[in-house]
Amino acid sequence: MRRYFTPYTVAGHPFRLEYRLVSYRRAPVPLLPFKGMAKDVRNRYSPVRVEKDVTHLRGKTPGQLIYRGDIQPYLWLYRNDANQTFGFSMTQREPDCLLSVSPSYREGELHICAQDTSGQIAFALNSSLMLLYALNTASKGTLLVHAATVEFEGKGYLFLGRSGTGKSTHARLWLEHVKGSSLLNDDSPILRVEDNGSVFVYGSPWSGKTACYKKCRAELGGVVRLSQAPLNRIRAMTPSRPTHPCFLLARAYRWERKMATGYSNSIERIIGRCGSYHLECLPDKAAARLCDSNGKGYIMIKKKSLPYCWQKKYIISSWKAGLWNKS
């Protein structure tokens, strides 16, 4: 049967989709800006093939269940001898689709149900491409991270935190109150360490609920860990601290050694290349101004929130860390 394929390039890394049916040739909207193969790309890897099963996947057991995620959308991992199969679903009952991958992760075959709607197919494609991309690029100085990213004056700023912390809300506050800022990605940007050691953050086809699919990049200007608090304050983080924001990136995909090792190596190269901060904040304008102006920021502690002696101690320590702009 004749196959159709479409090439894409994300953050300099290429991949392609293969289809057996003409009806699948229309690419999902998030992939459209990334269509095409760059001339100078290296480390090309094989395609993701889309197969449409004529029966439901229910009841199929692709191997021993090794891992099941606890955050929606849910990720399943099965192993059968040397082969691995991933499942994706919106419920914890069973996988809605199955992705069989080669031992090298360089190619995969996606199985979806014949009865699936266009929305279900888009979910299967999006989840499969995202996972396979991350597995293939983790050892190439590339991190697919869960963060909201804003571009400001040619620099990219990452806002990290657990689900529900307010990453998207804080990014929106930048857009509203920091003139000249723009949204680069709202859910899954890509960090890449270049050959010369510089670090860039790229847009990606995966941006959560916000349709922000930009094929562009910005040099990494700062990494900010967010946490909710009754006041606004920021402090610099040192590489040795277990709570350093970059270490949040290493907790993803702990079940896959290859990816975890690649993440760790890349994080070591990223730390020290940009400022890293912990921002305790409210969802207000003052929080957005804490880390603007090229990462210098403004210390804005509400005087009624803390005793004066605490305010003074914190402002002095913040000034010594280079976070306080006195102007």
pLDDT tens profile 108-134: 888 887 666 777 888 888 888 888 888
Report residue 78: phi and psi, to 5°: -120, 150
In a domain, 212, yes or no: yes
Q: How far apart are CA 201 and CA 60, in angstroms?
A: 39
Pairing state between β 275-281 and 64-68: unpaired
The two most distant CA atoms of the chain are separated, in Å, by 76
In single-letter form, the type of residue at position 164 comes to G
Query: What count of other Cβ atoms lies within 10 Å of the Cβ of residue 22?
Result: 9
Give the end of a domain, one of 88, 120, 140.
140
Give the end of a domain, one of 140, 174, 203.
140
In a domain, 326, yes or no: no
Query: What count of other Cβ atoms lies within 10 Å of the Cβ of residue 83?
Result: 13
My answer on whether 146 and 199 are in the same domain is yes
User: What value does the mean pLDDT take over residues 291-317?
Assistant: 40
**What percent of the chain stands above pLDDT 70?**
70
Which residues constitute the domain of residue 279? Answer: 142-320
For residue 327, the model assigns a pLDDT of 30
My answer on whether 83 and 162 are in the same domain is no
My answer on whether 175 and 251 are in the same domain is yes
Mention every residue, 6+ apart, whose C-beta is less than 8 A from residue 38. 9, 12, 14
Q: How far apart are CA 98 and CA 6, in angstroms?
A: 21
In a domain, 20, yes or no: yes
Pairing state between β 97-101 and 83-89: antiparallel
In a domain, 312, yes or no: yes
Q: Report the Cα 210 to chain-centroid distance in Å.
A: 13
Q: How far apart are CA 100 and CA 138, in angstroms?
A: 19
For residue 44, the model assigns a pLDDT of 56
Among residues 327, 326, 323, the alpha carbon closest in space to that of 295 is found at: 323
In a domain, 67, yes or no: yes
Helices (H), the chain: 118-137, 167-177, 257-270, 285-289, 308-320
Helices (H), 165-230: 167-177
In a domain, 325, yes or no: no
In single-letter form, the type of residue at position 52 comes to K
Give the pair of three-digit tokens for residue 250.
Answer: 């290493």
Going by the DSSP 8-state scheme, the letter that residue 27 receives in this structure is P
In a domain, 327, yes or no: no
Domains: count for the chain = 2
Q: How far apart are CA 314 and CA 301, in angstroms?
A: 9
Report residue 317: phi and psi, to 5°: -65, -35
Identify the band that residue 276 occupies on the pLDDT scale cut at 50, 70 and 90.
Answer: confident
Going by the DSSP 8-state scheme, the letter that residue 28 receives in this structure is P
Q: How far apart are CA 67 and CA 65, in angstroms?
A: 6
My answer on whether 212 and 97 are in the same domain is no
pLDDT in tens, 25-79: 566 788 889 988 766 555 555 556 666 554 445 556 688 898 888 888 899 999 8
Give the end of a domain, one of 140, 161, 196.
140
